[in-house]
Chain A
Amino acid sequence: MSLLSVDSLRIRLGGQPVVDGVSFHIGDGEVLALLGPSGCGKTTTLRAIAGLQVADEGSIRLDGDELSGAGHVPPERRGVGLVFQDGAVFPHRSVRQNLAFGLRSDPDGRVDELVELLGLSGLQDRMPHQLSGGQRQRVALGRALAPRPRLLLLDEPFASLDAALKASLRADLFGLLRKLGMAALLVTHDQDEALELADRVAVMHAGQLEQVAAPRTLLDAPANAFVAEFVGGASLLPVAVADGRVRVLGREFATSRADGPARAVLQADRLGWGAGGAAGELVGRRMRGGRLLSRVRLAGGVDADVPGPPGESVVATADLPLVD
């Protein structure tokens, strides 16, 4: 049985359906990322799981206990930890007092343990305004972990940090969650963050889930155009499948798709420069992960990011995923 199962969740805000029939589950010790553009309903879903938002329909079960529906369980009786975007560390309490907030008493030195675990030694008696943004976020994480929640919810926990800090805190969090065997739901709009941290990623769009899969699967076999474009950052090139085969950018490969029109997902990882591909016009360039990508406008007005400086023509260096 799953630790958390969300089933047909529906939430309307101001008359608009914000969460529109969402179902997923999280297993013991699993980290699931809820990934989507802003306004897609992912934070509302998280707030419903925390009990901060009352769901209109559907069920939210934690360890088999129904939390939603007729008997809405208030957040203080759910045993779910929550880390907010910029921490919401209580400004009137010291680090130690923040960490201890959720504990009735601390006989076995839980606070000291967390101070150690989160690298906050020496800062116990500081007030939040005396901490850096990264330290504050560690306090927020420790505070949520202190009462040993059954599930940890993370709402864009790195969004207000700068790039370098984000990377190091992300790595620390990854290690920490695995070490504790803590099940977590990470809400984010950052593809890299989701793919890097999560065991599985649920892609959300306009209140609905588009695909729930392991990171690699999302890239290799996106369920639809939205997932391909949002997760892979890819553009789509119309192709035709004939006799179970498709030919695109100088490469021909087999596909299980039915014959007819389809679109090839132009992921930068699977493109390169060579002979026999499609010619294009250089329209821009950008750096990504320390690599130069050339933005090339192909015939038909489709833009593709291709690694390296422009060469003769754009070719596919591996089989490309296909979507409708």
Chain B
Amino acid sequence: MNEQQLRDVVTGALTQVAPEIDPEALDPAADLSEQLDLDSMDFLNVIVAIHEQTGIEIPERDYPKLATLDDAVAYLAAAQQHGAAGPPG
């Protein structure tokens, strides 16, 4: 997936958890949990949704590396590069 696709995956996962948000209005550099009032259950559901879309297993210790939208996209791009578990395409 390219960067835009990964971004869409993350915003898609976020809107699943918080249906009322406007992905366009997200500040890509601000903390997602604070910005969207996510609790740990919400955040875990975001991680699960990202996994379903990309196949990337994000270990718990890496959660802080996905704090913002930009961070999350960068993390997923890197994980994909290292061939973690990304599906073909």
Q: Check if A and B associate.
A: no
